[in-house]
Amino acid sequence: MGALFVAIAFFGLMALGMPVGFAIGVSGMIGILDMGPRFMQMAPDRVFAGLDLFPFLAMPFFILAGEIMNRSGITLGLVRLADALVGWMRGGMAHSNMVASVMFAGITGSATADAAAFGNTLVPAMEKAGYKRPYAAAVTAAGSIIGPTIPPSTLAIIYGSIMGVSIAGLFAAGILPGLLICGTCMLVIALHAKKKNLPKGEGRPSFGIVIKALREGFLAALLPLFILGSILGGFATPTEAAAIAVAYALFVGGVIYRALTWQDLYEIAVRTTRITGVIFLIIASATILGWWMTFNRIPQAIATGLLSVSENPQIVIALILLLLLVIGLVMDINATLIILAPVLAPLTAQIGMEPVHAGIMIILALNISLMTPPVGACLFVLASVTGEKVESITKELWPFILAEVGILLVIAFWSDLTLFIPRLLGL
């Protein structure tokens, strides 16, 4: 009966428009009330324990570094570099959008930051060049999920922290899927080029133009290389690398480019605090709900239910992916990760999956949910900044969603490919 009340409370509050963090927290507290007064007294301690993980400190630092780079205009150099490399092809600005998303991903680790930044800059530029605005927004949405896939991924930090999996290993495992998403989406754009009569670039750039673009984008491109190199090389933890990234971003944006004012820094700090607060509220609330689920042995029931369908590892993996993609349609991905990771990780271990392989599969499946209706965060960010309807963007987005689901299946069922870079680096 308690589980029924919790489910009704959660979905009812979500339907009424309550923010997901509060809906999860209230539902969890209803479950704990059913457990008894003694457990209610323990709830504050569980909330603190859910947030008291040192790697979580990396998240606000990475968010802050990305905000500084974006506000100072440094990321525009990445866009110019991407345009110099692939902008000459038919559909060149769409290709540039994808390549720039890969570069930008190595700075922010956030899909919504990518969607907001490129929605304000690249979408209007693409529309001016002759692209239809829904298509330009769809390309941006498809590329935005590269952000939380390629390191520094905030989802990888959360998953690695709560499940005790190597964050460096998850970072390394995310590189190849992110690049595959970029390449596959560029293939979709190429197939659209003639059918949609996408605008063609001005021709191959000269060597001098490429060198100029490299020079302009060098300082911005150096940051993700530095972050990855220091973490994967074992010179710094993700938290230490994130703190150094903030110092680097401040130095480049404030000293070299002289593009930051005290007012900018204040607004950056406020925005970083707001984003971090929302993420940590969801984590704290999901900790309570997860504690209640564990007490009632719901994870074991879900695992038993999935294995009762089949013990074949391939079928179990397919069921896990289906579960994640369906739940991702209606629930915030951070909350989904925190609640379901303790449920699914033991199940993947039971069928013989490596922890890093299972982690990156779960992360990528949830990332795809960022661009699927009805609650895809990137869709609503782009609708907000471009003024385009969610329905119009979604209509143009489906070929990209199907392509990225294809990459998810490759990553899920081909472990040697997924773990190639982590094994190469000895992680």
**pLDDT, tens digit, 9 for 90 and up, residues 45-78:** 777 776 776 677 777 888 888 788 777 776 667 7
Cβ within 8 Å of residue 376, ≥6 positions away: 141, 369, 370
Q: What pLDDT does 405 receive?
A: 94
- Confidence tier at 419 by pLDDT (50, 70, 90): very high
Mean pLDDT estimate for the chain:
81
Query: Is position 7 within any domain?
Result: no
Of 174, 139, 60, nearest to 419 (Cα)? 174
Query: Is position 10 within any domain?
Result: no
Phi/psi for 90 (5° steps) reads: -65, 135
Query: Is position 5 within any domain?
Result: no
Of 228, 149, 169, nearest to 424 (Cα)? 169
- Chain-centre distance of CA 101, in angstroms? 12
- Confidence tier at 177 by pLDDT (50, 70, 90): very high
Query: Is position 110 within any domain?
Result: yes
The structural domain count of the chain equals: 1
pLDDT at residue 2 above 80? no
Mean pLDDT for 173-180 is 92
Mean pLDDT for 222-250 is 79
Give buried/exposed letters for 217-226 (b at 16+ CB in 10 A, else e).
bebbbebbeb
Task: Give 252-296 pLDDT, tens digit per residue.
Answer: 888 887 878 888 889 888 888 887 887 787 777 777 777 777 777
- Confidence tier at 7 by pLDDT (50, 70, 90): confident
Domain span at 208: 36-424
Mean pLDDT for 71-91 is 72
Query: Is position 2 within any domain?
Result: no
Query: Is position 109 within any domain?
Result: yes
Number of helices (H), then strands (E), belonging to the chain: the values are: 21, 0
Q: Burial level of 181, CB count in 10 A (0-12/13-18/19+)?
A: buried
Are 25 and 284 within 8 A, CB to CB?
yes
Calculate the dihedral angle through the C-alpha atoms of 233, 157, 279, 123, rounding to the nearest 10 degrees: 60
Q: What pLDDT does 81 receive?
A: 75
Query: Is position 17 within any domain?
Result: no
Query: Is position 309 within any domain?
Result: yes
